[in-house]
Amino acid sequence: MANESLAPTRGAVPGASNGAQSPFISVDSVWKVFGKNPERVLEPLYAEMDKSFIQSELGNVIGLQDVSFSVEQGETFVIMGLSGSGKSTMVRCLIRLIEPTAGSIVIDGDDITAMSDKDLIEFRRSKIAMVFQHYGLMPHRSVIDNASWGLEVQGVDQATRYERTREILDLVGLTGWEDAYPRQLSGGMQQRVGLARALAVDTGVLLMDEPFSGLDPLIRRQMQDELVRLQDELHKTIVFITHDLNEALKLGDRIAIMHDGKVAQIGSPEDIVLRPEDSYVGDFTQDVRIESILTARKVMVPPMVTFPGHLNPRAALDAFGRANRFLGWVVDEVGRYIGALSHSAAERASRSGAARLDQVQECLDQEYPVLTPATNFDEIIPVAMGVDHALPVVDDDRLLVGEVHRTDVAEALAIASASSPDYEANAAENAAQDTDKS
C-alpha cells in the first residue's frame, strides 16, 4: 500500500515500507475439509471442484479451499462473507483450534502448523487474544475478574493484574463497573468486558469472530467507533470476522471476501467496492455509496501556497500575487498546520503592521475547515460546497500533508460512479496497483 492514494486509513502501515519483510501473519494454501478421508479432496481430480459438487460426490464438507492471505503488523484485516462461507473455520484454523487439513500458517515467524501441542498452548496464551460474538463471560466473576482472566492464566499476581485491568476497563469506558457482575450489564457493556479481557493480556494479535453481531445497531456502531479509536492507539494486528459489509468497510484496512470456503477477493475497501473482480463481489458491493468509500487521500494534491509562521504579511501578499491565489496555509517550523490565511486577512495584517503571520488572529482562529487523509467524501462534499477555495489536509500530528480541490472531488466521484463492471479489467487494475505497492 505504498501508493499514497490507497494507503490505509488508520495508523497502521500495512505493507507500506516493509516490502522485504515477511508479513506478520501468513496463510498459505490452507484447506479444511470436514468428514471422512478429507485428504482425498485435495487430489487433482477434486481439488478444483466446488463445494457443492464435492459435498454431493464425496460427502465431505469444504470449510476452506486453498485459502491464502497475509496480514501485516498493525493491520486490521477483515474476513467477510455470508453464513457458512468459512470465516469461523478460518479464524479457528489460524491458531489450530481446528486442525487444517493442509497448508501452512506462520504468525510472527512461528510456524503454527508445525507446533507441538505444548508450544501451541503457550503460543496462544502469550501471543493471541480472542473476542467472540457471545462474550463468554463467567457469570460468577465480577467485571474486573472477568477482564483480568487472561492475565490470571498467565500467572500474573492479583495486584499487577488489577492495576493493568483497571487501565483497560477505563479505555473501554467501564470505569466504575469493576465490581459488577455480568448479569448486571447490558449486551454492549458485556461485549466491552470481552474486549477488555482480550486487550488486557497485551498480545500483538487480536482475533475477533463477529464480536458485535449480537448488539443492536446503535450500540454496534458505538463499538465499531470504539475499536477504530482503540486501534489508533494500540496498533494491534487484528483479524476481524463479520458478515456485515458496512462493518467490514468501516474497520478494515483490507478485506477478504469469502465465498463457499474460497477467497473471492482481497483488497482495500476501495478495491472491493470500486473494482470487484467477479460478479459475486460485485453483487455484494453494488449498493455501497461511493461517497462513503472515497477519502481525501484519494484526491489530495501537494499544498500550493504555504507560508512559514514567521513570515511578514507583506511577503505573504507578494507570494499570493506570484501564485495567483487568494488562500494559503500557515505552518510552523516543522510543517505543522497553524491556520488558513486569506489574501484579505494578509492585507489587513499588513496594514495594521503585524510582524508575523503566526500572530494574525484570523489565521490562528482556525475557522477554516480542515480535513484529514481519512475524511470521506460524505463529509468533504458539504464542507467543500461551503468554501470557495481548496481545503487543507493535516495528518494525526497536525502536519500539513496536502489540499483538496472541489473540482477533483467531483471528478473522482464521476469516475468512480462510472467504474466498469468489467471484472477482468478490474482484476488487472488491482493487480497492477498491488505491484506498485510492493
Ligand X SMILES: Nc1ncnc2c1ncn2[C@@H]1O[C@H](COP(=O)(O)OP(=O)(O)OP(=O)(O)O)[C@@H](O)[C@H]1O
* Signed CA dihedral, 236, 77, 248, 259: sign only: negative
Nearest CA among 426, 387, 393, 422 for reference residue 407:
387
The distance of closest approach from Cβ of residue 251 to ligand X in the complex, given in angstroms and rounded to an integer, is 16
Rounded-to-integer distance, Cα 46 and Cα 112, Å: 26
Task: Provide the mask over 81-120, with x wherever binding to Mg ion is found by CB under 5 A and - wherever it is not.
Answer: -------x--------------------------------
Comparing CB distances to ligand X, the nearer of 46 and 423 is 46
Cβ-contact 199, 193 below 8 angstroms: no
Closest to Mg ion by CB, 88 vs 148, is 88
**3-state class (DSSP) for residue 8:** coil
Q: What single-letter DSSP state applies at residue 41?
A: G
> Least CB distance from residue 88 to ligand X, whole Å?
3
For residue 308, the partner it binds in ligand X, Mg ion, none, with Cβ less than 5 to 8 A by kind, is none
Per-residue burial over 78-112, b = 16 or more CB atoms within 10 Å of its CB, e = otherwise: bbbbeeebbbbbbbbbbbbebebbbbebbbbeeeb
Q: How far is the CB of 224 from ligand X (least distance, A)?
A: 18
Closer CB to ligand X, 247 or 358, in the complex: 247
Contact positions with Mg ion (CB under 5 A) in 283-312: none
Closer CB to ligand X, 171 or 208, in the complex: 208
Residues that bind ligand X (CB under 6 A): 34, 61, 63, 81, 83-89, 243
Q: Which CB sits closer to ligand X, 86 or 100?
A: 86
Q: Which is nearer to ligand X, 99 or 163 (CB)?
A: 99
Are the C-beta atoms of 189 and 222 separated by less than 8 Å?
Answer: no
Q: Which residues contact residue 337 at a Cβ distance below 8 angstroms, ignoring those fewer than 6 apart?
A: 329, 330, 331, 370, 392, 394, 398, 399, 400
Taking the least distance from each CB to ligand X, the nearer of 47 and 97 is 97
* Smallest distance, Mg ion to C-beta of residue 209, A: 6
Least spacing, CB of residue 343 vs Mg ion, in Å: 59
The single-letter code of the amino acid at 297 is: R
8 A C-beta contact, residue 130 and residue 209: yes
Instruction: Judge contact between 308 and 290, C-beta under 8 A.
Output: no
**Least Å from the CB of residue 280 to Mg ion:** 19
What is the closest distance, in whole angstroms, from the C-beta atom of residue 206 to Mg ion in the complex? 17
- By rule CB under 5 A, what count of residues binds Mg ion? 1
Smallest distance from ligand X to CB 194, Å: 17
**CB atoms inside a 10 Å sphere around CB 225:** 12
Cell of 400: 500539513
User: Toward ligand X, which CB reaches closer, 243 or 310?
Assistant: 243
In the complex, the smallest distance separating the C-beta of residue 342 from ligand X, rounded to whole angstroms, is: 54
Q: Which secondary structure element, helix H or strand E, spans residue 423, and what is its range?
A: helix 423-437
Q: Is 136 exposed, middle or buried (0-12, 13-18, 19+ CB in 10 A)?
A: middle
> CA 420 to CA 293: how far, in whole Å?
17
Identify what 84 binds: ligand X, Mg ion, none; CB under 5 to 8 Å per kind.
ligand X
Q: CB-wise, 61 or 180, nearer to ligand X?
A: 61
- Where do contacts with Mg ion occur on this chain (CB under 5 A)? 88
